[in-house]
Structure 1
Amino acid sequence: MAIIKVIEVLANSEKSWEDATKNAVKQASKSVKNIKSAYIVDQSVVVREDEVTEFRVNLKISFEVK
């Protein structure tokens, strides 16, 4: 039986939500091993002077505890 743990991570990108998601998983993998999935809980953007300047994601990352 596998034990799966879930952590919540916030990340951002100036390019896209997809890039923000990749950044989150990449950063989390530096300290968390055996990542199995990521679930996007929420997305938002920062707007400055009528332009989108930053994409933000809130993720739940699941990983197997060994």
Structure 2
Amino acid sequence: MAVPKTKKSKSKKRMRKAAIRKPCARAQSCEQCGADKLAHRVCPSCGYYRGRQVVTVSDED
């Protein structure tokens, strides 16, 4: 059975783990208004999620 000769330092261990992390979430277009939004989240421009309005968005410009 393989046994390491020396202990891996925290920085070396974390550098190795940093390359394995998950990729960033990609933006999708909203079905209701067509604006960019993150997957599985409420649209920030219209407030819709899965075909129904969840959040009321006020227009403050």
Which category of TM-score, normalised to the shorter sequence, fits these structures? under 0.3
Structure with higher Rg: it is 2
Q: Which has the higher strand share?
A: 1
